[in-house]
Amino acid sequence: MKKILLAALLAGAMCSPLAYGGGCSHVEAAEAVHAGVRRDAETDNLLLVNKTHKLPDDYEEKVDLVTVKNCFGKEFQVERETYKHFLSLREDLLKRGIQIELESAYRSVARQQEVIEELRATEGEDYVKKYAAVPGYSEHHTGLALDVAVVKEGRPIDDVYGTWETPYQKMHRRLAEHGFILRYPPGKSAITGYDYESWHCRYVGREAARKIFLQGLTLEEYLLGGRETQNMQGKYGSAAYWTKRNPAGEKELSDTEMKHLQEEMRHQNSLLVDMESFPAEVTAEYIKEKIKVSRDNYLWFEPDNIYENGVPLTKERCRQVEENCVPESLLARQTVKFALTTCRANLRYLPESEGWYEAPHDTHYDLIQALTLYPAEPLAVLAESRDKKYCFVQLRNYVGWVDKTEIAFVDHDKWLKYAAPQDFLVFTAGEKRINLGDGSNLLFQMGARLPLKKAKVQRDGTWLAVVPVSVQGDVVEKLVSIPADKTVHKGWLPYSENNVLRQAFRFLGELYGWCGLEEGVDCSLFTADVYRSFGLDIPGDAVEQRTAMPMRKDIEKLGREGKLEAIGSCRPGDLY
């Protein structure tokens, strides 16, 4: 994923049957029965307990447990924060028609020993050795592990494989958003020590859970850095290794050279526009042409083999969405409206929020996702969809449809504060989350920028920047303090070969996300974000990126040696 892209720029739950009966009511939480020392979530959420890693001897003394009941009246002890997030997961799934309940949670080491003796008496020694965790080596000792049952019509149901997606598998797709992982996924028994357990969930925190889920890792693999990060460890896995071997790479391009390069790329590709000088009116033909460009990017796929919500997309459904692309009316000369994104928004090839996929169970590779727009992105609004729910927009390096709820309209003068700010802050980290001070936050990625309220660093070592937020559809500018550290830079970074390498390596370990989905970046966004941090706009699509380059090498028809020679002639930062 991103690790490959860098080169381009240069324990045990025991298997226990579910045995519940009776009707269901809401989960009840009781008072805490054991108030221990509060845990450090960054450390203990990722505690590894498996067949070879024993629970620390003093760990149980520190677990903050609450006593709770499931809807069947069965009582459990659960680590406090874990239970809070379980309730959030449960509520989320209820909205999706799936009810889950606790089946097992915290078990002390002493209780595990009792379970072992009970099983030894009833099932025999061979069963104990095969299925039961040795006391001290069970995840259930941590309070972070839960056995979860899916309940239907008042009774728990089993997870039965078939040609359809089971309720358990649907639950697995929502785990990461609430900080949980499927601890023992299928095909990973050689790593985890346990066969697939569809019911055994483990709380690790949302950030870790998302990385584990999206990269298809186990907890063991994640704690070792993940497959791709492992491949980039050592001397080759840092920008310093490569920049030291490229002493000439510190030479910087001048502002004049950067401006000339940008103008040349805009001449090569019409999707690249100078937002500061974007006209107040455009022709109907211009709008129709750009809408066709967006639609044609979607039609690069095979529309006859597409799925929506797991079922084949009908021709009627496809026709309805395509008709929604046609505005009700367009004047010969259409007045442009101006807007700002007020959140991390999705730019779509078509005016539709539902994902369209090439496989019935896919949720990652949405065919009508164009790219992600970061907060405070200036947009030129050219038209509305027929149902008035989407706006067709031109941004600095692409066109597409955006949900109207994710943008706010502003007058041209306010818009110019973001399209052409005098003093501004650029985000130079792979991603950066900014707290708005009211419990909410905004996620920015490399190359995004914000206008500065003050041109100098404040006495407390922070920058004072302006963020546009939406209040009932209107833009309110909110002041935010951002630490003056290496994750931000006043103005664009100086362009040099070595700075390109440094920026590229800032994505090491970050998540891959198709066209910016799932709070990640894909290959084309990764490339565009790196160049954007220098103030250089390139298209957000890989095919369009190639057409924008002033110099291009066609290597498709070359043999292996010819391709290697062509690649070897490239300098760091070259994009062919």
- 48-to-55, 223, 266 alpha-carbon distances in Å: 8, 8, 52
Task: Provide the pLDDT confidence category of residue 36 given band limits of 50, 70 and 90.
Answer: very low
- 172-to-197, 198, 200, 308, 435 alpha-carbon distances in Å: 11, 8, 10, 19, 29
Residue 268: HSE in the Cβ half-sphere, 13 Å Cα cutoff: 19
Task: Provide the pLDDT confidence category of residue 229 given band limits of 50, 70 and 90.
Answer: low
**pLDDT reported for residue 161:** 60
| pLDDT tens sequence across 109-119 | 998 899 889 98
**pLDDT reported for residue 233:** 63
- Asked whether the predicted pLDDT for residue 388 surpasses 70, the reply is yes
Task: Provide the pLDDT confidence category of residue 437 given band limits of 50, 70 and 90.
Answer: confident
Tell me how far apart the alpha carbons of residues 292 and 400 are, in angstroms, rounded to a whole number.
10
Mean pLDDT, residues 122-128 taken together? 88
Residue 192: HSE in the Cβ half-sphere, 13 Å Cα cutoff: 24
β pairing state of 390-395 and 449-451 = unpaired
Mean pLDDT, residues 72-85 taken together? 93
Tell me how far apart the alpha carbons of residues 327 and 53 are, in angstroms, rounded to a whole number.
62
- Residue of 3 and 231 predicted with greater confidence: 231
Q: Name the CA radius of gyration of the chain, rounded.
A: 27
Please give the angle made by the CA atoms of 365, 366 and 371, to the nearest 5 degrees: 100
From the CB of residue 330, how many other CB atoms can be counted at a distance below 10 Å? Answer: 16
Q: What is the number of helices (H) and of strands (E) in the chain?
A: 19, 26
- Asked whether the predicted pLDDT for residue 148 surpasses 60, the reply is yes
| pLDDT tens sequence across 236-275 | 788 999 999 999 999 999 999 999 999 999 999 999 999 9
Catalytically active residues, by annotation: 197
Q: Which residues contact 315 (CB under 8 A, 6 or more apart)?
A: none
> Of 31-35, 156-160, 313-317, 499-503, where does mean pLDDT reach its minimum?
31-35
Token pair belonging to 506? 């800032």
Task: Tell me if 81 sits within 8 A of 146, measured CB to CB.
Answer: no
437: left (phi over 0), alpha (psi -120 to 50) or beta: left
Please give the angle made by the CA atoms of 166, 168 and 173, to the nearest 5 degrees: 100
Tell me how far apart the alpha carbons of residues 128 and 124 are, in angstroms, rounded to a whole number.
7
> Of 37-46, 167-176, 240-249, 468-477, where does mean pLDDT reach its minimum?
37-46
Tell me how far apart the alpha carbons of residues 90 and 415 are, in angstroms, rounded to a whole number.
42
Tell me how far apart the alpha carbons of residues 131 and 430 are, in angstroms, rounded to a whole number.
43
Helix axes 523-532, 497-505, angle to 10 degrees: 130
Residue 419, SS3? helix
Ranked by mean pLDDT, the top range of 201-205, 475-479, 560-564 is: 201-205
Q: Which residues contact 395 (CB under 8 A, 6 or more apart)?
A: 275, 347, 373, 377, 378, 379, 380
**pLDDT reported for residue 75:** 93
- Domains with residue ranges and CATH for the chain: 12-227 (3.30.1380.10), 269-402 (no CATH)
In the chain, pLDDT over 90 holds for what percent of residues?
57
Residue 7: HSE in the Cβ half-sphere, 13 Å Cα cutoff: 10
Token pair belonging to 236? 């080759």
Mean pLDDT, residues 28-46 taken together? 42
